[in-house]
Structure 1
Amino acid sequence: MKYLFSSLLLIISFSLSSQNDCDCSRNVEILNKTVQNLPVTRNTSDLSAYNIALSAADNYSYTGNYPEYDCFQQMSNLLVTLNDRHNMMYSEVGFDVEQSDTVYHEFPKFDGDLDSLKAKLDEIPLNEVQGIYSRDGFSIGVYASEQNLIVVNLSGGKKVWQQGEIIGRFLKYGNGRYLAAIGQFHDKKLVNFPLEINNGHISKLQLSKSNASQNRSRVEDSETYQYLKSGDITYLRIGSFSGYNPVLKNAETFYKSLEEKPVTKDLILDLRENGGGGDRNSDILYKYLRKSYKNANLYVLVNGTTVSNAEQFALRLKKFKNVTLLGSKTSGTIAYELGKTYDFPCYNFKGFFTFKGDKKYLEYESVGVQPDINLDNSEDWIQQTKKCIAKSN
């Protein structure tokens, strides 16, 4: 046992030493080699923006106080130039609230007067993306810097974030869409994910401006699969198309139960906050709807958290006779399919990249699927849809 303990200490010591001696250029080199083999690269005729970002990452000096943070940001700069919102990176190491053995104890600090920044951001109009966003006592400031947005902690953070720490950046894809390159609020693990900012809300992070109207575009019920019937209207909530158990097993059971339900004249299919998955799941539902509801009136709810296979599914339903998409634009993370995880040599970074794509969805990538009817975020979306159904009848 004594020798085993000594060996473990040696392994841990070697691992920490390897991370401390890291050079981000090794990560950038691996990332570039990976990107060259991605389907999005083959589908892109102009890679000039990517090459400029690559040159900047290669020439960046990672000798400051926050080499891990800087490395993650430079690598994220490469990803955001690619028209493929599935690609992402993350770190396996985060902040230990007990402050024992953590790489990311501190992030960069805001270089300026925080009170002046607050006052400036507080005056920004609701419809602009810059400003102050809050939830549950946690408040962040979002301000423009060059082509992107900087995110700074103004207050709160539950012992994880210090006031004035730079949480990260929102990197512009365009069309009001961003790639978040931030530390997670609860543990500071560096992560990438797509998001949008609309009408004073960052829905993905459940953050809002103080003067924003109540955001009622989100699903209020947490059940992944739900069936309700009211008169001639059936409501189906489909919160995931995951092709893995236990979600897939639950989906199969739910879809099977629908065969015993009456077919109604109108169907509301709620795909909000459906993070996607695969055809192994969604094909079952598609076959059921084609058999039972192809000649009914389908009202499909989508929004910015309708992602990937759920976006594809909404488009597939357009082949039916009477289909209306309602809500707001989908995520625009639609044309590609995630593959395996890649390990980077430094800073415990991992990458999750696509391995194949479908060209028929390329026009929607980073743009999203536009609904036929836009719904008001300040009103309940189910009630608005029922009003649309009443008008149609």
Structure 2
Amino acid sequence: MKKVFILILLLSSNLKLAAQVNCDCASELNFVYEQVQTTASFKDQIKGENRARFEERYQDLRAQMTNKQSKLDCFWKLNQLMAMVQDKHATLTENPSDLTEESLQDSSFIAGYRESEGFKNFPKTDRSVAELTKSLEGKSLDEVEGIYTIGSKLKMGVYRVSSDSLVGVILISQVETWEPGQIFAYLKHSNIESHYDIIHYGTSQKNLKFSKAQFFDHGMLFPSVLKEDLENNYAWIDKDEEESYQLSNLTDDIQYIWLNSFNRVTKSEQRDELIAQIQTDLTAKNLIVDLRNNGGGADKISLPILKELKKKKANIYVITNFFTGSNAEMTTVRLKDEFDAIQLGQRTYGAISYGSNYGRSYNSPSGLFNFYPTDMRQREFIDYEEVGVQPDVKLNQESDWVEQTIAYINLQGEESKKR
């Protein structure tokens, strides 16, 4: 089971957490306790000794909630209980309040928000922003500490507050709802190397979110949260939507396709067009299937493509990154098991065994939080939940990943000739 998610960050003396919105956390905890037990993952995993540990965790947390808690403290504690179950599809988030998409376009509302108690008492660091910026300059891309860009209008400094905990603070803001010194994220080392459990705020609506076992690699914390001196992010594929689902020729014996999504609503027509193209145009000995950035979708999109590929008997090489998730992870496993494919790149996201058929979610008693449960399971993939599908060949961040894959295929061909 995952190690206890303790609140070191919230107790650190260099954070200002006063005057935040309080909530009746005991009732919120009871809500999560009841809801999480409805999930397919809970029913699979929390039995016997695990059930006893779950109940013990629940009782320990209840004992901490005799008084009202800050919203942030409450959110940490609720996710401690959630963390007992390995299920990256099931989530708990804060419901956005006043910062709606419509209000964010209203300059008078923004001016009022900046004068509000919510803005003035938003969690802040006690560190000098100027001194913090100076101390974080020059951190290497492989250190999680350092300066990050969040999109094009925010900069964040991530600094360590204990041996296993860090805080992300806004250093520069061109967004009216954020100001330097406000805290954007709390990070804690996961029980997986180079992974972090992260509580962070939405960039627009500033609602709390929890990212479980987030992989940090070569300056990328999230796709839009990158070290400021990261020149090339080869793990992330930066292409236009229309470039997907197109079979193309790379060399005389290598062809390529980028499958960016398996969304059942938007990809049905492209699936059919691709299958027709595979039937007539897939002639190369080797095929690269690029699943980077593919957050998943439905078997009704992915399986017909695999069925058509099986008729061609090409050598398949599949590229994945940490943002290859859900049905795209299932596709990765199927390619490896049924096609003897070689996987290159990064591990996948690890949200593979469970899913939501109905897409329903439920608000907590206070309305502060929203719980999104899972109601589907595919037990054959349980070993990959949260840990992801590990690549056979890890690709480095020094050059283009498709080019590295081509080089690997050519090397395999040369070695085959020698044998």
TM-score by length of structure 2 reads 0.78
Counterparts of 1:98-247 in structure 2 under 5 Å?
A: 98=106, 99=109, 105=119, 107-122=122-137, 124-135=139-150, 136-145=152-161, 147-175=164-192, 176-194=194-212, 195-210=214-229, 212=230, 214-223=232-241, 224-230=244-250, 231-243=252-264, 245-247=265-267
Question: SS of 1:139's equivalent?
Answer: strand
Measured at CA, do residues 21 and 391 of structure 1 come closer, stay the same or move farther in structure 2, by a change above 3 Å? closer
Q: 2:60 aligns with which of 55, 67, 85?
A: 55
53-62 vs 186-195, which moves further: 53-62
Q: Which residue of 1 aligns with 2:17?
A: none
Deviation at 1:323, TM superposition (A): 1.5
Measured at CA, do residues 353 and 203 of structure 1 come closer, stay the same or move farther in structure 2, by a change above 3 Å? same
Deviation at 1:337, TM superposition (A): 1.5
Q: Which residue of 1 aligns with 2:374?
A: 354
Q: Which residue of 2 aligns with 1:266?
A: 286
Percent of paired sites with the same residue:
27
The answer on whether the counterparts of 1:53 and 1:77 sit within 8 Å (CA) in structure 2 is no
Counterpart CA distance in 1 for 2:78 and 2:201 is 15
- Tell me which amino acid in the other structure corresponds to 2:168: V
Q: Which residue of 2 aligns with 1:363?
A: 383
324-333 vs 154-163, which moves further: 154-163
Deviation at 1:316, TM superposition (A): 0.7
The answer on whether the counterparts of 1:50 and 1:81 sit within 8 Å (CA) in structure 2 is no
Deviation at 1:324, TM superposition (A): 0.9
317-326 vs 36-45, which moves further: 36-45
Counterpart CA distance in 1 for 2:216 and 2:55 is 24
Counterpart CA distance in 2 for 1:280 and 1:312 is 13
Measured at CA, do residues 201 and 53 of structure 1 come closer, stay the same or move farther in structure 2, by a change above 3 Å? farther
Counterpart CA distance in 2 for 1:283 and 1:50 is 40
Cα displacement string for residues 185-229 of structure 1 (whole angstroms, at most 9, x for unaligned residues): 13323333453211222243341153x462212112122433212
The answer on whether the counterparts of 1:80 and 1:171 sit within 8 Å (CA) in structure 2 is no
219-228 vs 378-387, which moves further: 219-228
Counterparts of 1:250-329 in structure 2 under 5 Å?
A: 250-292=270-312, 295-329=313-347
Counterpart CA distance in 2 for 1:282 and 1:235 is 16
Q: Which residue of 1 aligns with 2:74?
A: 71
Question: SS of 2:50's equivalent?
Answer: coil
Counterpart CA distance in 1 for 2:266 and 2:307 is 21
Counterpart CA distance in 1 for 2:55 and 2:185 is 21
Please report the RMSD computed on the Cα atoms of aligned residues, expressed in angstroms.
2.9
Counterpart CA distance in 1 for 2:398 and 2:159 is 25
Gaps of at least 5 residues in structure 1 are: 1-19
Q: Which residue of 2 aligns with 1:379?
A: 399
Cα displacement string for residues 332-385 of structure 1 (whole angstroms, at most 9, x for unaligned residues): 222211353122222442221222323332222221111111111121001111
Deviation at 1:241, TM superposition (A): 1.4
The answer on whether the counterparts of 2:345 and 2:394 sit within 8 Å (CA) in structure 1 is yes
- Tell me which amino acid in the other structure corresponds to 2:253: D
Question: SS of 2:280's equivalent?
Answer: coil
Paired residues, what number?
368
Deviation at 1:115, TM superposition (A): 3.2
Question: SS of 1:37's equivalent?
Answer: coil
- Tell me which amino acid in the other structure corresponds to 2:365: P
Cα displacement string for residues 89-119 of structure 1 (whole angstroms, at most 9, x for unaligned residues): 2334253433369796463111333334334
The answer on whether the counterparts of 1:107 and 1:167 sit within 8 Å (CA) in structure 2 is no
Counterpart CA distance in 1 for 2:55 and 2:354 is 19
The answer on whether the counterparts of 1:39 and 1:357 sit within 8 Å (CA) in structure 2 is yes
Counterpart CA distance in 2 for 1:109 and 1:128 is 23
Gaps of at least 5 residues in structure 2 are: 1-20, 414-419
Counterpart CA distance in 1 for 2:317 and 2:404 is 11
Counterpart CA distance in 2 for 1:60 and 1:154 is 34
Cα displacement string for residues 55-76 of structure 1 (whole angstroms, at most 9, x for unaligned residues): 3366247757xx4344333323
Q: Which residue of 1 aligns with 2:31?
A: 30
Counterparts of 1:83-98 in structure 2 under 5 Å?
A: 83-94=86-97, 95=99, 96-97=103-104, 98=106
- Tell me which amino acid in the other structure corresponds to 2:175: K
The answer on whether the counterparts of 2:33 and 2:58 sit within 8 Å (CA) in structure 1 is no
